[in-house]
Amino acid sequence: MARVASTPDESLGFPAAFLHAGTRSVLASLWPVDDLASAFLVGRFYREMAGGAKSPACALRDAQRWLRTVTVGELMALLREAKDLPPPAGPLAAATRSALRKDAADHRPYAAPWFWAAFIVCGKE
């Protein structure tokens, strides 16, 4: 856990600032990340957290494992479910489907660590 009480002001980042403000934990990235991969990962992270049975770290691990193994076919099915959601989700789902359509259904577009390894959970479990 970050020790924000003794951290000099110039080194405070967003995670430390949120923890200092009282949040229990923060999902953050260590480097700039792909928007679409991040949207899928964060959506899965929150689904893993639903119900409160998992810690944030366990939910992140499971979301990262899912993202690196999910296929284009599985993502297309997920996006079909989102097509009727209000903007921006519905139009975003349509744009994402057209971007993924070029790949084979069994292709794993986010298998490379660059897409999922940047994420960490800071704070209390």
- Which of the residue ranges 30-44, 46-60, 78-92, 104-118 would you say has the lowest mean pLDDT? 78-92
Kindly tell me if the per-residue pLDDT of 8 is higher than 70.
no
Kindly tell me if the per-residue pLDDT of 88 is higher than 60.
no
| 34 DSSP 8-state letter | -
Close Cβ partners of 15 (under 8 Å, ≥ 6 residues apart): 2, 26, 28, 122, 123
Kindly tell me if the per-residue pLDDT of 10 is higher than 50.
no
Name the pTM for this structure: 0.77
Kindly tell me if the per-residue pLDDT of 11 is higher than 50.
no
Q: Return the percentage of the chain with pLDDT > 70, whole number.
A: 76
Kindly tell me if the per-residue pLDDT of 93 is higher than 70.
no
Report d(CA 32, CA 118) in Å as an integer: 8
Q: Yes or no: say if 91 and 102 are a contact pair by the CB < 8 Å rule.
A: no
